[in-house]
C-alpha cells in the first residue's frame, strides 16, 4: 500500500536518513551538483455511467521529484511524490517511491534502499514481475511506474559480458496495496453466505529475518534472443482469506463466519524471452508457483482454502502494421491438480491488445489498450489521446470503459466508466 500513514512517512524519512549515513562524508564532499528532474501533473476524472454519473472519480495533483547524484563509484537517487487530493479529508499523501544508494564496481553493482525492481517481458501483466508489490488503490488505471511500489532491498548485479546475474534480498515483506472498502475501486468480495467478522491477526507478516524474501535472476541479451530465468522464495503479495465457520453446538447451525487474511510462502520458478522473427518481436513469459492458496467452497476444507501449484504464462507480439504499433498478448493461468470446488476457474484466459500511432511529428499520439477476459467476456477498454503542446508539456484526454458481468474482474466496475484529463509538465 502506498505510504499514507504517519508510520509509513516515518519509515520513508528513516530510509533517507539511513542513506545519508551510509554515504561517507568524504564522498559527499566530492559530489557533483545534484540533478533534479520530475513532473507536475493535474488529473481529473469524471464518471459518465451508473448511479454516480457526473461525480468526480478523481481530482488529483501530483508533484514528482527525482533527485540524483553520481560521483565515481557511488550514486544516490531519491524520488518523493506528493499527491494532493481535492476531495479527501486528508488531502496530502507523501510517497517515497524510491530512495536508494548505488555502489558501482567493474563487474558488479550494489544497490541498497527502497527500489522498484521490474522483471519480465510482459506488458501490463505481472508474472515474473513479483518483487515490487502493486498498488491497486485505483485498480489498474495509474501509469505502471506508479502501480509498482518500491521495496526496501539489497540488490547485487553481477555482469559477464551482455549477461547479468541479479540477486535480491527483501528483508521486510510488503503487501500489495488495496482500495478502502468505500472506494470506487474496492474489489468485489468473494462469495460468502453471510456478513463475516474479520480477524486481522495474521494480515501482516512479522518483520524478521526468517520472513525475508530472496530472488535471483539470470538475464542475457544477444543477437539471437533475449532471455531471463528467475527464481524466488517469497510471500504471496495477495493475502488468502481463511474462512472459519462458527457453529452453534446445540443446533449445529452456522451462526457466523470469521475471515482471516494471511499471506503465505511461495516458491516460484520462471523465465521470459523476446526474439525477432521477420520484423515481429515475439515475447513469452511464464512462471510456476508452488504453495499458492485458493479459496474453496468444499465444507471438507475447514478453513475454506486449498493449496495448489499454479502456472501463469503469456505469449505476445509487437509489430508495426501500416504505421501503427500493435502489440497483442494471450495470458493463461492454470491451477494444477484442480479441485472442482475451487472458486477460481481451472483455466483463466485473458488477452490484451495495444494499438498506438503518432501524428504531427510525434506531438499527437492516439492509443487504445484493451484487457479482455476470455472466460467471462469482460473487458477494460482504455483510449488515450496525448498532445505535446511544447517540449515536456503534454495534455492527455482519455476514457476507461468497463464491460462484462458484474461478478467478473472488469465487469465489477461497470459503473465506473470515466473520462479524464491529465495535464503534465516535465522538468
Partner 1 sequence: MRKFLFALVALTLLFVNNTDAREFTAQQIMENVYNRPEGKDRTSDLEMILVNKFGDQRIRIIRQFNADFGKVEKRIMFFLAPADVKQTCFMNWSYEEAGKDDDQWIYLPALKKVKRISSESKGDYFMGSDFTYDDLGDRHPNEDTHALLRTETIDGKDYYVVESVPKEEDSMYSKTITWVATDGSWIGLKKEFYDEDGELLKILSVDKVEQIQGYWTILNSTMHNVQKDHKTIMNLSKIKYDTGIKGSMFTERMMKRGL
- Extract the C-alpha cell encoding 357: 500511432
> Segment near partner 1 (CB under 8 A), from 113-121, 175-183, 340-348, 397-405?
113-121
Q: Pinpoint the alpha helices (H) of 191-258.
A: none
**CA separation for the pair 171, 131 (Å, rounded):** 12
Kindly report the number of other CB atoms within 10 A of residue 89's CB atom: 5
**Binding letters toward partner 1, positions 167-206, x by CB under 8 A:** ----------------------------------------
Q: In the complex, what is the shortest distance from the CB of residue 412 to partner 1, in angstroms, rounded to a whole number?
A: 27
* Window of 44-52, 137-145, 255-263, 407-415 that interacts with partner 1 by CB under 8 A: 137-145
* C-alpha–C-alpha distance, residues 70 and 171, integer Å: 26
Of 31, 172, 281, 334, the one binding partner 1 (CB under 8 A) is: 281
Site string for partner 1, 230-269 (x = CB under 8 A): ----------------------------------------
Q: Does 285 bind partner 1 (CB under 8 A)?
A: no
CB of 280 to partner 1, least distance (A): 7
> Residues 56, 112, 144, 187: which binds partner 1 (CB under 8 A)?
144
CA distances from 427 to 80, 94, 95, 270, 356 (A): 15, 20, 19, 38, 25
Pairing between β-strand 254-262 and β-strand 197-198 as defined by DSSP bridges: parallel
Longest distance between any two alpha carbons in the chain, whole Å: 77
Helix (H) or strand (E) holding 11: helix 6-22
Give Cα separations from 385 to 355, 366, 391, 419 (angstroms).
12, 5, 17, 12
Nearest distance, CB of residue 275 and partner 1, angstroms = 8
Among 174, 219, 350, 408, binds partner 1 (CB under 8 A): 219
CB nearer partner 1, residue 134 or residue 424:
424
- 109 or 262, CB closer to partner 1? 109
Give, in degrees to the nearest 5, the angle at Cα 179 between 175 and 182: 145
Helix residue spans in 104-240 (DSSP H) = 144-147
For partner 1, give the closer residue by CB, 388 or 415: 388
**226 touching partner 1, by CB under 8 A:** yes
Q: What angle do CA 288, 351, 314 make, to 5 degrees?
A: 25
Q: In this structure, what C-alpha cell is assigned to residue 308?
A: 495448489
Using the rule CB under 8 A, give the single segment among 23-31, 83-91, 144-152, 337-345 that binds partner 1. 144-152
Cell 495509474, residue located: 142
Comparing CA positions, the residue from 293, 180, 272 lying closest to residue 230 is: 272
Out of 8, 69, 267, 358, name the contact with partner 1 by CB under 8 A.
358
Residues with Cβ within 8 Å of residue 263, at least 6 apart in sequence: 173, 175, 203, 205, 235, 236, 237, 238, 239, 240
Of 181 and 278, nearer to partner 1 (C-beta) is 278
Residue 120 beta carbon to partner 1: minimum distance, rounded to whole angstroms: 8
Judged by CB under 8 A, the number of residues near partner 1 is 44
Please say which residue, 120 or 373, places its beta carbon nearer to partner 1: 120
DSSP category for residue 336? S
Touching partner 1, residues 321-350 (CB under 8 A): 323
How many alpha carbons lie under 13 Å from residue 354 in its C-beta half-sphere?
15
Task: Identify which range of 161-169, 181-189, 289-297, 340-348 contacts partner 1 by CB under 8 A.
Answer: 161-169
Of the candidates 275, 290, 356, 414, which one interacts with partner 1 according to CB under 8 A?
275
CA-CA-CA-CA torsion for 201, 202, 203, 209, nearest 10 degrees? 130
Window 28-67: residues binding partner 1 (CB under 8 A): 37, 39
Q: Is 17 helix (H, G, I), strand (E, B) or coil?
A: helix
User: Which residue in 13, 92, 118, 395 binds partner 1 (CB under 8 A)?
Assistant: 118
The site for partner 1 (CB under 8 A) is made up of 37, 39, 104, 109, 116, 118-121, 143-145, 148, 157, 159, 161-162, 164, 219, 221, 223, 226, 274-276, 278-281, 318-320, 323, 358, 361-363, 390-392, 394, 424, 426-427
Amino acid at each position: 500500500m502506498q505510504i499514507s500513514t504517519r508510520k509509513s512517512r516515518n519509515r520513508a524519512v528513516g530510509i533517507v536518513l539511513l542513506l545519508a549515513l551510509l554515504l561517507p562524508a568524504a564522498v559527499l564532499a566530492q559530489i557533483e551538483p545534484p540533478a533534479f528532474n520530475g513532473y507536475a501533473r493535474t488529473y481529473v476524472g469524471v464518471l459518465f455511467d451508473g448511479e454516480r454519473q457526473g461525480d468526480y472519480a478523481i481530482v488529483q495533483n501530483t508533484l514528482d521529484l527525482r533527485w540524483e547524484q553520481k560521483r565515481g563509484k557511488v550514486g544516490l537517487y531519491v524520488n518523493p511524490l506528493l499527491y494532493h487530493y481535492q476531495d479527501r479529508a486528508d488531502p496530502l499523501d507523501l510517497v517515497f517511491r524510491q530512495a536508494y544508494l548505488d555502489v558501482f564496481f567493474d563487474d558488479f553493482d550494489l544497490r541498497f534502499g527502497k527500489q522498484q525492481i521490474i522483471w519480465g517481458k510482459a506488458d501490463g501483466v505481472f508474472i515474473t514481475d513479483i518483487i515490487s508489490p502493486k498498488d491497486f488503490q485505483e485498480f489498474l488505471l495509474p501509469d505502471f511506474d506508479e502501480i509498482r511500489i518500491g521495496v526496501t532491498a539489497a540488490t547485487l548485479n553481477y555482469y559477464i559480458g551482455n549477461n547479468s546475474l541479479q540477486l535480491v534480498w527483501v528483508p521486510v515483506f510488503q503487501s500489495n496495496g488495496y482500495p478502502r472498502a468505500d472506494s470506487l475501486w474496492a474489489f468485489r468480495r468473494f462469495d460468502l453466505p453471510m456478513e463475516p467478522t474479520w480477524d486481522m491477526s495474521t494480515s501482516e507478516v512479522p518483520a524478521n529475518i526468517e520472513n525475508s524474501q530472496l530472488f535471483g535472476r539470470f538475464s542475457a541479451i544477444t543477437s539471437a534472443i533475449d532471455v531471463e530465468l528467475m527464481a524466488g522464495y517469497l510471500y504471496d503479495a495477495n493475502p488468502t482469506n481463511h474462512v472459519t465457520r462458527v457453529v452453534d453446538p446445540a443446533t449445529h447451525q452456522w451462526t457466523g463466519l470469521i475471515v482471516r487474511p494471511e499471506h503465505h510462502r511461495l516458491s516460484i520458478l520462471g523465465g521470459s524471452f523476446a526474439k525477432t522473427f521477420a520484423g515481429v518481436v515475439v515475447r513469452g513469459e511464464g512462471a510456476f508457483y508452488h504453495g499458492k492458496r485458493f479459496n474453496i467452497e468444499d465444507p471438507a476444507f475447514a478453513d475454506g482454502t486449498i493449496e495448489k501449484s499454479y502456472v501463469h504464462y503469456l505469449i505476445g507480439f509487437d509489430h508495426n502494421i501500416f504505421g501503427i504499433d500493435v502489440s497483442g498478448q494471450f495470458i493463461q493461468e492454470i491451477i494444477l491438480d484442480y479441485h472442482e470446488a475451487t472458486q477460481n476457474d481451472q483455466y483463466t484466459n485473458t488477452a490484451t491488445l495495444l494499438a498506438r500511432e503518432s501524428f504531427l511529428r510525434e506531438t499527437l499520439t492516439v492509443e487504445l489498450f484493451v484487457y479482455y477476459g476470455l472466460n467471462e467476456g469482460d473487458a477494460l477498454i482504455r483510449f488515450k489521446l496525448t498532445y505535446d503542446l511544447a517540449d515536456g508539456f503534454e495534455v492527455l484526454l482519455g476514457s476507461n470503459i468497463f464491460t462484462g458481468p458484474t461478478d467478473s474482474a472488469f465487469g465489477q466496475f461497470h459503473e465506473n466508466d470515466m473520462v479524464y484529463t491529465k495535464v503534465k509538465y516535465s522538468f
